[in-house]
Structures are given as structure tokens and as C-alpha cells.
Amino acid sequence: MNRFLDLRFMIGVLFVVYGVVLGVYGAAADPHTPSLHSNIDLWWGIVCLVFGIVFLIAALTRRSE
């Protein structure tokens, strides 16, 4: 129970949720928008998802005290 109160776990869940939402929005959006000629929402969704997974792994694999 104490493991789920770890700040790394909460931040990881938050970034995974944001990454999924942003990635789905980026995948569903029109790819021909004039913003830098790439799908920024999709790329940042992937970045947030990976960052959140790294935080979750760090929170769940810590040594028990």
C-alpha cells in the first residue's frame, strides 16, 4: 500500500494518462496541419508515455525498506 503513495508512482500514472490522451489525439488529428510539418501531438504523446513508464518502473522496482 505504501508503494502506491510514492510520488514517482503518481507522476508516472499522470504522464502515462497524458501520453495516451495526447497520442490518441495526435493519431486522430489531421496530419496536414501547418505546425512544423510533423505531428507534434503524436510525438509528445509518445515522449510522455515513455517518461511515465520509466517513472512507473522506477517506483515499482525500488528496494523494499
DSSP string computed for 40-53: HHHHHHHHHHHHHH
pLDDT of residue 1: 58
pLDDT of residue 41: 87
For 62, phi then psi, to 5°, come to: -75, 160
Q: What is the mean pLDDT of residues 1-15?
A: 83
pLDDT of residue 33: 64
Q: Which domain holds residue 16?
A: 2-60
26 in any annotated domain: yes
pLDDT tens for residues 24-65? 998 887 766 666 667 888 899 999 999 999 999 998 887 655
47 in any annotated domain: yes
The domain total for the chain is 1
Cα 36 to the center of its chain, rounded Å: 22
The Cα–Cα gap between 43 and 11 comes to: 19
Considering the entire predicted model, what is its pTM? 0.80
